[in-house]
């Protein structure tokens, strides 16, 4: 266990917390993770469900020890957790301090097409969609129904992606690419042309993850790479990413876009994230099965060896002050570093930026940047050298970025250099 923890710690000194069965998880193989409106974390594993209240993980025996494949939070006046398992659908009513088993749906008691629920999603009309190994069932208010097989390119469903702008539900399948369906005004199902290798040149027709951004553009994670598509024309505007593009691994299992519009991709061999310019990777010998973003902007990774909480520097500060403070410093990578590290500056408006590096005595080591930047994301690299071109010794350094010469708009990070 110590080797994989060290691999992360070397990159994220001080930013990570690790949870395993030693902390109360029923299994280290964590398949899914969700954050409820009260900030509690819910983790699905191959041996049941756990809840984290900020202090400790508690295994919920009321759900049993069934393998859990997916979780979905239903928000509203009465929040609920919908749990897709190997034995049907469990529903918990949840509050800040408590939870209660509200319902259990199986094919023996309700019109589910199968008890193996691999994917769960909830659309803007509070219809619940359940993807199984034999097709899709959905629950609209109190009415159960299923998606006709003629609308699906494969009956083995692996993932969902819902577009709130259009109402289309994108369905990732095993061997059939992506199907698109939506509910019309009469609660009827309509379908569109599928996305598959023949029509859209997907890297693979097995699609494990789908992410729809706020503009309706789609990201599809397959076992042969990542595909990005703009619009709804199945044959146009496709872009592809894989190991040759800079990703850590071709087998994509989960996708998340965070509040700073950075794309996070969990693979069979680590995490890749994309800032619109380039990929950065955290490579290790186990899979990342799910990624969830917390209320404060930090990230939770469900992996084959437990759960990792990544507290991004300045995440809370940025969310609370994003109107008054137009800058966000994304954590430097790698950190510690040798020979160089890179930080991304995210700006909501045009601003003049002066960035400098200091040692712990307050002595200025290097002026990194002094220029005017447009809105957007801008990389800044420190090669570990001072202003004279000499290499700085190993140690702790502080990077300071000031906007428009105003001290009250100062942003700092600590960097560790080793030689």
Per-residue pLDDT at 386: 95
Q: Read off the pLDDT of each residue in 274-283 and give the average, rounded to a whole number.
A: 78
Confidence category of residue 131, pLDDT binned at 50, 70, 90:
very high
* Peptide bond just before 339 cis, omega within 30 deg: yes
The pLDDT score that the predictor gives to residue 186 is: 61
Query: Which of the given ranges, 95-99, 130-134, 234-238, has the highest pLDDT on average?
Result: 130-134
The separation between the first and the last C-alpha atoms of the chain, rounded to the nearest angstrom, is 26
Instruction: Answer whether the bond into residue 251 is a cis peptide, omega within 30°.
Output: no
pLDDT band at 12 (very low <50, low <70, confident <90, very high): very low
Q: Which of 146-160, 207-221, 345-359 has the lowest mean pLDDT?
A: 345-359
Residue range 2-317 in CATH 2.130.10.10: yes
Question: Does 383 score more than 60 pLDDT?
Answer: yes
Q: In what order do the strands lie in the sheet with 189-195?
A: 157-162, 169-173, 178-183, 189-195
Residue 58: its pLDDT value, please?
94
Section 260-280 average pLDDT = 84
Q: At 371, list the tokens.
A: 């220029």
Residues in CB range of 226: below 8 A, 6 or more apart? 203, 219, 220, 240, 241, 242, 247, 252, 255, 265
Between the alpha carbon of residue 166 and those of residues 62, 161, 419, the distances in Å are: 38, 12, 53
Q: Determine the average pLDDT of the residues in 168-181.
A: 95
The confidence band for 274, taking pLDDT boundaries of 50, 70 and 90, is: confident
Cα-based distances in Å from 80 to 36, 73, 150: 9, 6, 32
The whole-angstrom separation of Cα 127 and Cα 74 is: 10
Q: What is the mean pLDDT of residues 284-288?
A: 88
Q: Distance from CA of residue 45 to its chain's centroid?
A: 17
DSSP state of 21: G
Digit-coded pLDDT (tens) for 207-250:
999 999 887 889 999 999 999 998 878 888 888 999 988 898 99
Q: Confidence band (pLDDT; 50, 70, 90) for 4?
A: very low
- Residues in contact with 301: Cβ distance below 8 Å, sequence separation at least 6, in sequence order: 33, 266, 271, 288, 290, 291, 307, 308, 309, 310
Please give the order of strands across the beta sheet that includes 117-122: 117-122, 128-132, 135-140, 143-146
User: What percentage of the chain exceeds 90 in pLDDT?
Assistant: 56
Smallest CA-to-CA distance from 161 within 180, 189, 137, 140 is with: 180
Least confident segment among 3-12, 17-26, 111-120: 3-12
Q: Where are the domains of the chain?
A: 2-317, 323-417
Q: What is the mean pLDDT of residues 2-14?
A: 42
Burial class from Cβ neighbours inside 10 Å (0-12, 13-18, 19+) for residue 96 reads exposed
pLDDT (average), residues 87-95: 96
CA angle 76, 253, 22 (to 5 degrees): 80
For the domain made up of 323-417, the CATH class stated in words is mainly beta
pLDDT tens profile 306-336: 999 988 654 433 333 444 456 777 767 777 7
Structure tokens, 173:
């399948």
* Per-residue pLDDT, 220: 97
Cβ–Cβ < 8 Å for 172, 207: yes
Looking at residue 344, what is its pLDDT? 79
Q: Name, of 91-100, 129-138, 372-381, 398-407, the range with top average pLDDT.
A: 129-138
Whether residue 1 has pLDDT greater than 50: no
Encoded tokens for 383 = 């090669």
Residue 181 makes CB contacts below 8 A (sequence gap 6+) with: 147, 151, 152, 168, 169, 171, 189, 190, 191, 192
């Amino acid at each position: 266990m110590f080797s994989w923890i060290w691999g992360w710690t070397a990159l994220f000194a001080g930013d990570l917390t690790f949870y395993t069965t030693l902390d109360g998880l029923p299994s280290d193989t964590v398949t899914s993770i969700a954050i409820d409106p009260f900030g509690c974390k819910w983790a699905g594993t191959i041996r049941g469900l756990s809840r984290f209240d900020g202090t400790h993980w508690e295994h919920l025996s009321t759900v049993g020890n069934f393998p859990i494949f997916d979780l979905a939070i239903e928000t509203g006046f009465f929040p609920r957790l919908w749990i897709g398992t190997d034995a049907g659908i469990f529903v918990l009513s949840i509050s800040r301090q408590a939870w209660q088993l509200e319902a259990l749906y199986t094919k023996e008691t309700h019109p589910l097409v199968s008890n193996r629920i691999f994917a769960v999603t909830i659309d803007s009309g509070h219809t619940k969609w359940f993807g199984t190994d034999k097709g899709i069932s959905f629950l609209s208010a109190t009415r159960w129904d299923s998606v006709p097989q003629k609308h699906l390119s494969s009956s083995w469903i692996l993932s969902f992606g819902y577009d709130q702008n259009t109402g289309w539900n994108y369905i990732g399948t095993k061997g059939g690419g992506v199907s698109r369906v939506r509910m019309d005004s009469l609660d009827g199902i309509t379908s569109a042309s599928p996305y598959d290798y023949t029509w859209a040149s997907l890297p693979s027709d097995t699609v494990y993850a789908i992410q729809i951004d706020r503009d309706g553009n789609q990201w599809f994670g397959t076992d042969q790479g990542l595909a990005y598509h703009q619009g709804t024309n199945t044959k146009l505007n496709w872009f592809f990413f894989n190991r040759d593009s800079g990703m850590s691994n071709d087998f994509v299992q989960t996708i998340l876009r965070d509040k700073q519009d950075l794309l996070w991709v969990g693979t069979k061999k680590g995490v890749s994230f994309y800032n619109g310019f380039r990929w950065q990777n955290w490579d290790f010998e186990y899979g990342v099965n799910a990624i969830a973003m917390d209320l404060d902007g930090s990230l939770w990774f469900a992996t084959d060896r437990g759960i990792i909480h990544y507290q991004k520097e300045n995440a809370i500060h940025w969310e609370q002050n994003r109107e008054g403070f137009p800058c966000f410093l994304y954590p430097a990578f790698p950190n510690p570093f040798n020979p160089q590290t890179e930080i991304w500056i995210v700006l909501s408006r045009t601003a003049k930026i002066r960035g400098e590096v200091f040692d712990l005595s307050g002595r200025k080591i290097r002026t990194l940047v002094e220029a005017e930047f447009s809105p957007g994301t801008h990389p800044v690299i420190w090669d570990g050298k001072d202003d004279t071109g000499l290499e700085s010794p190993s140690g702790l350094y502080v990077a300071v970025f000031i906007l428009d010469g105003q001290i009250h708009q100062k942003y700092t990070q600590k960097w560790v250099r080793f030689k």
